[in-house]
Amino acid sequence: MVLSCPHRWYRAAGVPRGAQPQPHVVDLRSDTVTRPSARMRQAMAQAEVGDDDYGEDPTVNVLRKDPLPPTVTLSHAELQHSAAKLLGMEEALFVPTSTMANLVAVMCHCQRRGAQLLVGREAHLHVFEQGGVAQVAGVHSQALQDLPDGTLDLSELESTIREGYGSRYHPRLELICLENTHSSAGGRVLPLTYLREVRLLADQYGLRIHMDGARLMNAAVAQGVPPAQITQHCDSVSLCFSKGLGAPAGALVAGRREFVAEAWRTRKLLGGGMRQAGVLAAAARVGLECVEETLQRDHRNARSFAQGVWELSSPFCSVNLSAVETNMVLVKVAGPWLSPEKLCERMQAVSEEEVAETGHAVSVRLFPWAADSLRAVWHQDISAHDTQLVANKLKFVARQCSREQGAAA
């Protein structure tokens, strides 16, 4: 029975008579559900702003020719310049979303008619961005099969390149797109050795590389390396501020100076020119300042949950511990009568039985990811205590399922 009205079990759980129960909600659907921290809100309120479309917003600007006003602190100024240095790129451009950042990058790299890019079949850019590279940019994508760790098979990649290289019958191959971390692979990190191999291959055939780095900082923290050590193998990179970094909105695309100049024009074309964008840039800057501490905690919590699922040894759900590298956990759900959707529903619902058995009313929001799996994503709003509550809830649901299956047998 889902919680709805006062009942005797409220008092057993310590809820005063007549009080309406408020389940503790743990939202693990994505790291996009975060709310700005108090520090971010303060930075947004105090941000020095101007018209970014005129290049006059000091919190966003790539470079300033005049000294910073005394009211502007360096910690919240020049997001684009600071981020470019962090990524080892010459310049960067602040844009509203990572989807726009990726589209801008593709349009800047693939300006000839008949251009083609190579991308993983499960890549976010290929699956979840409405085919913008074809619909808007007119660029042909050839999708290759992703391996379980989010990489592409290098032999297949090279044979695909060679098949169309110099051909008058194939589209003009211009670009290779990578995703790091790889969302559909469960937040897997692309190995540095793999990135070097792709770079050598791209150079051999005169191709460029764009990295969808929406969660690039997760990859850097997981590998214990500066972001620039990852992006040195790419011609351009996108970075999202509204995922693990916890900002309410914003992303950037970075690369060489000439590339970013063209990216500004493309952003304007796509309607991405912003005005007093420093309000958003200030929150993004705070996210960058706290990134290592925040993401290390997220990774620990995700790993802790995955360990709990593994130790549960349930016939209804399991996890591949070796695949949990960052803030995502893919939980495999065993059928036939329990689907990912059904398990997500049971994790979100709260019953009298749960409160009586566990002493807690916990509603966990998860994402049914595939036909046989669900996804949980950790972020700055989820504590170690929340993580333990989620693990306890899963144990309770697993016991429920066992009892129900036994009764049906």
**Alpha-carbon distances of 299 from 24, 287, 318, rounded to whole Å:** 22, 16, 19
Determine the Cα–Cα distance for residues 235 and 243; give it in Å rounded to an integer: 23
Exposed, middle or buried, 371 (CB in 10 Å: 0-12/13-18/19+)? exposed
Q: 202-242 pLDDT, tens per residue? A: 999 999 999 999 999 999 999 999 999 999 999 999 999 99
Q: 294-339 pLDDT, tens per residue? A: 999 999 999 999 999 999 999 999 999 999 999 999 999 987 779 9
- Record the pTM: 0.90
pLDDT for 71 equals 33
pLDDT for 409 equals 57
pLDDT for 134 equals 97
Exposed, middle or buried, 88 (CB in 10 Å: 0-12/13-18/19+)? middle
pLDDT at residue 62 tops 50: no
Q: Which domains does the chain have, with CATH numbers?
A: 8-29+292-408 (3.90.1150.10), 47-289 (3.40.640.10)
Residue 226 DSSP class: -
pLDDT at residue 16 tops 90: no
Residue 69 DSSP class: P
Determine the Cα–Cα distance for residues 202 and 206; give it in Å rounded to an integer: 6
